[in-house]
Amino acid sequence: MARLPRGPRLKAIAGNNKPYYLYHPSSHKVSTPLIKLGLSAYYSLDRIELEDKAMGWRSGIQAEIMEKSKGKCALCCCSLLDDEIKMELHHVQPIQFEGPRTRLNLKALCTECHISVSTAVKTKDLESIKNFEQFGILKNVSRTLEHT
């Protein structure tokens, strides 16, 4: 019998002379399944985006957060009941900063405010982040960034 390279094992299927390979699970990386938009639930940064999108599918949570905010953006106080202004769910303590995935960690923001807050976090603008923390829009972000 010929010697096979290290790693895969070659065996013959009963009744079929074609060989097939058996791999030890630790010898190969498993490719992650890709889903719509090219995002993968197994990649941590994609998972954050997918979970945010999933929150949008759960109308019960949106309604609860909207009721809690009395139909207004938590930052600029514009009405989110207007069809022209889209409500977005915002994590007060972002998931990337070990924020909990609970309803208590969510606030309703208009798209414009949500972009402002997200941009401040992505660019690590400490002055803006501290302002948002004073308004209760962010939590524990500046402290985490100062220690890194």
Does the model's pTM come out above 0.75? no
- At 75-124, the pLDDT tens digits run 999 988 877 788 899 999 998 888 888 889 999 999 999 999 999 999 99
- Give the pLDDT band (50/70/90) at residue 46: confident
pLDDT of residue 17 exceeding 70, the answer is: no
Q: Give pLDDT, residue 127.
A: 94
Q: Give pLDDT, residue 34.
A: 40
Which whole number is the average pLDDT over 55-60? 60
Coil/strand/helix, residue 59: helix
Buried b (16+ CB within 10 A) or exposed e, 136-146: ebbbebbeeee
- Residue 6 DSSP symbol: S
Residues belonging to the chain: 148
Cβ contacts of 47 within 8 Å, gap of 6 or more: 41
